[in-house]
Amino acid sequence: MLIVLNHKMNLTKEEVVAYEKIIREKTYDDTLVVCPSIAYLPYFQGENYKLGSQIVSQYDGGSHTGEVSAKQLRSLNVSHCLVGHSETRKDHNETELELNKKIKVLLKNGIIPILCIGETQEERDQNKAEDVLTRDLRNCLRELSKEEISKVIVAYEPIWAIGSGNVPSNETIEQTVSMIKTFIEEQYQESVKVLYGGSINKHNYTILKTIFNVDGFLIGGFGLDVQGIQEMLEI
């Protein structure tokens, strides 16, 4: 199982050093990926976990102030990168065309993209969730080869669940994940791993982990609680 911890824009240097010291002292049965703020990537170089980035530029390099390239991330031992998280889509007005370019540049540099997709509460209430998710997948994955598709990880994060404390039922998550996997298999004749993200904590983790077709979890706020994460991973 893949566990991805998204720190977002949190923790100071001193907190990061203490956090990393704790996680490097454990051996994990699950694959752990830590996505710190971009400034702290060099502080996470342990061998018992993998390093992820929260951002990447759609460009290979050049005059793009404030951006970070996939090549630069690769030089810092980054193995995974979030693409299209609902917060970055909102804050940076990311388009699906830009996300498609980011996925391509990540794959070109040997980094695994974690494509985040999700619907709003209104879209789910209007029974539009499937249309929203499949459109997103179709546009973000276009012009990728079967081999490239197989390397992409999809994270299903319903926008209404992120940081809200509201978690879909296991049945809803199972059905949505199944729909995502079936769509990709039918469209691209390839299979992908699908994670769930949205208001996960150590209490509901044991329930969510029973969903048979979920390949892992993308964890936000709770991921900052290093002791809680340790307890969760020992379950």
Residue 138, pLDDT above cutoff 90: yes
> 3-state class of 118 per DSSP?
coil
Mean pLDDT to the nearest integer, 2-22: 97
Catalytic residue IDs: 85, 157
Query: Among 6-15, 20-29, 71-80, 93-102, which stretch is predicted with the lowest mean pLDDT?
Result: 20-29
Domain that holds residue 213: 2-233
**Burial class of residue 200 in the structure, from the number of CB atoms within 10 Å of its CB (0-12 exposed, 13-18 middle, 19+ buried):** buried
| Phi, psi dihedral angles at 144 (to 5 degrees) | -95, 145
Number of structural domains in the chain: 1
The token pair at 12 is: 């100071």
Residue 6 sits in a domain whose CATH number is: 3.20.20.70
Cβ neighbours of 163 (radius 10 Å): 11
Residues 6+ away with beta carbon under 8 Å from 193: 2, 153, 154, 215, 216
pLDDT confidence of 165, banded at 50, 70, 90? confident
Question: What single-letter amino acid sits at 162?
Answer: I
The CA distance from 113 to 210, in Å, is 25
DSSP code of residue 74? H
